[in-house]
Structure 1
Amino acid sequence: MSVVIPCYRYGHFLEDAVRSVLDDQPGMDVRVLIIDDASPDDSAEVARGIAAREPRVEVAAHAANRGHIATYNEGLLDWASGDYSVLMSADDRLTPGALRRATDLLDTHPDTGFAYGNVLWFSDGAPLPKARTRTRGWSVWPGHQWLERRFRHAQTGIISPEVVVRTSLQQRVGGYDPRLPHVGDQEMWLRLAAHADVGFVRGADQAYYRRHGQNMSTAYTELTTLAQFRLAHELVLTQCHDQLSEASALSDVVHRKLAWKALLNAARAYDRGRTSETPVDELVAFAVDCWPEARRLPIYRALALRRRIGPRAMPYLQPFVLPAAAIRRAGSWWLDRSWKSGGQ
């Protein structure tokens, strides 16, 4: 098992991350590579200190910052040699026994390209929530079936540290795409699913995701995130076209879903009194560009009503206007119905 831990200014989290890999995974033959991407603090020194005490840990320290995508690819494509690989941020942790649970699934189902499970979120400085460590079995889906469902939702629902990938498949499909600094992992799961089946460990918690003020996701706006998700799905459709028999239908459903999400974000800005800080016009423009028939969506009509009412009057009329949360549920049903009926 090869575990790659990229690190940039996360040296104070490293000990927890490494210990969760080496101490909490009994029966696993694990090697760890910490890659410090020219951190301006003492992260590289912390990493070297861990490696000096632990022969299963190696350190690569960059003299100049290369960015997280290049760092991921260095570890997964150039260094990883175990049958299975894990990419885990230095601020996250594995739960006890997570690697054994995932590799048992992968060993039993050789056509499965990666396995994942539930994630526990915790706030930095707070006690770790108790993890469930007993499985209730596995779910294994044909990759195309899993991928189709994720296109319908325009996201995978996977955080990242909970994923164990078959190394041979990872190195065959290639590394993370530098055009996707925010959602490169989402594109990777979809790309892997286009080539192999997908497994899920039921009942147990597989990783901890740490919330703190330096999480990378906090640097991106709603609009930027939607644009990244759009590009991620378009890249999968282009690069994996030969593996996807329904590429055209998948393209339609994901662009429709992303348009709906953009309009929903715009509508919720009125509900929450955040129109001054939300780029409503840009979200609408994104929606129409993403799916030219976006004006057919029920959420578009709901947004149009809010725009007529205006941000000043909206707080007073809020009790009489269907909230965006209810529109969200109705919109999901409408999109699912449209997909099942072939977009008619």
Structure 2
Amino acid sequence: MTTTPLVSIVCTSYNHGDYLADAIDSFLMQETTFDVEILIYDDASTDHSPHVIKQYENKYPSLINPIYQTHNQYSKGVRVELFNHNRAKGKYIAVCEGDDYWTDPYKLQKQVDYMEAHPSCSMTVHAADRVLSDKKKVLSTVRPAHGNAVFSMERVIEGDGDLIATNSMVYSKEKIAVLAPFYLNAVVGDYPLVILAALHGTVDYLDDNMSSYRVGVKGSWTERELATSTKRINHYHHMEEMFDEINEYTHFMYNDALTKAKNRYQFLRLLDQGKFKEIKQGDHRKIYLELSMKKRIVLEMKRYFPTITNTLRKVKWKMIR
């Protein structure tokens, strides 16, 4: 007799062959009183990712259900997260990219128990470590609150994508059954997803560190999409458009928070364009003054000594690695 899973674990992968085993093993180690399914989407990886996934699929055929693309869909502008979202059978969807992993075997049980006890909750998130890609060295921790908390819409918007670790998300598919246009049109997936969750319920934070996500992964989205000044400027423009779209979608109910978020990306765009005078004027001046003295010194060094600043940044990253 086939049972319907309560939770669908969704994993999107592209050239994560060196990391996928950690991700899948962390799914398999989950101790739950309910059934789960593991949906893995590989977007035509050119490394050994399909081979790794196939090994696990052969070992756990009733649990792991992959999709192997032969042509990369992301490069065609397709929202690849939808492949797993649309086929998920679970009441809840747990997110983890192929280069990240969970660290607590009771993560899913804790989050689902909480959501079952709090029916107004549309998404739960938790603390997570940022780790160096190859060594798993902890660089910092994402812990937006000390103690459990319910994030307001304003906190979600102003927190940007740094507020919440993507691989900490478990959300209600029923509450987020219809994916809004601003989500489908966005150039990022996690940030607008949290905003969408906040529109349809509460986003609740559990103050428990239960996952790790890697930084410095070769070929990652950050490396591909934000590697050059031109790409970053283009990205900032798209984010500004996203905030305008959310503002219209919500009938300007959160205009102040969205305007502040948009101004922040305008600030970053001006900075990348080398318009240092403009970042100290108008609405951007407040953002500049809110920066720490250390960051302001770095900005001034970038303005007057751009070559030295760029060299120091590269040396710092090499030392971390």
- Per the TM superposition, whether the score is higher than 0.5 is yes
Q: How does 1:1-344 map to 2 (within 5 A)?
A: 1-54=7-60, 55-67=62-74, 70-77=79-86, 79-96=87-104, 97-127=106-136, 138-141=148-151, 146-155=152-161, 157-174=163-180, 177=183, 179-181=185-187, 183-202=188-207, 204-211=208-215, 212-219=217-224, 220=226, 221=229, 222-241=232-251, 245=253, 247-261=254-268, 266=271, 278-281=272-275, 293-294=282-283, 297=286, 299=288, 311=304
Cα RMSD over matched residues?
Answer: 3.4
Question: Residues 56 and 218 (structure 1 numbering): CA distance in 2 closer, same or farther, change over 3 Å?
Answer: same
Cα distance change, pair 40–195 in 1 and its aligned pair in 2 (3 A): same
**Offset at residue 194 of structure 1 (A):** 1.5
Distance 1:24 1:296 in 2: 48
Larger radius of gyration: 1
Aligned 8 A contact 2:129 2:212 in 1: yes
Report the CA distance shift for 1:217/1:207 in structure 2 as closer, same or farther (over 3 A).
same
Could you state the TM-score of these two structures normalised by the residue count of structure 2?
Answer: 0.74
Whether the 8 Å CA contact 1:38–1:61 is kept in 2: the answer is yes
- Which amino acid in the other structure matches residue 180 of structure 1? A
Whether the 8 Å contact between 1:115 and 1:165 is mirrored in structure 2 is yes
- Name the SS for the 2:21 alignment partner: helix
Segments of structure 2 that go 5 or more residues without pairing to the other structure are 1-6, 309-321
TM-score (norm 1): 0.69
Q: Give the Cα–Cα distance (whole angstroms) in 2 for the partners of residues 158 and 298 of structure 1.
A: 21
**Aligned equivalents of 1:152, 1:17: Cα separation in 2:** 30
Q: CA deviation at 1:178?
A: 5.1
SS at match of 2:203: strand
Residue 110 (structure 1) shift: 0.4
Q: Which runs of 5+ in 1 are unaligned?
A: 267-277, 316-344
Q: 1:312 to 1:210 in 2, by over 3 A?
A: closer
* Percent identity of paired positions between Structure 1 and Structure 2: 17
Counterpart amino acid of 1:13? Y
Residue 25 to residue 93, structure 1, CA distance change in 2 (3 Å): farther
Q: Residue 176 of structure 2 aligns to a residue in which SS? A: helix
Question: Between Structure 1 and Structure 2, how many residues are aligned?
Answer: 278
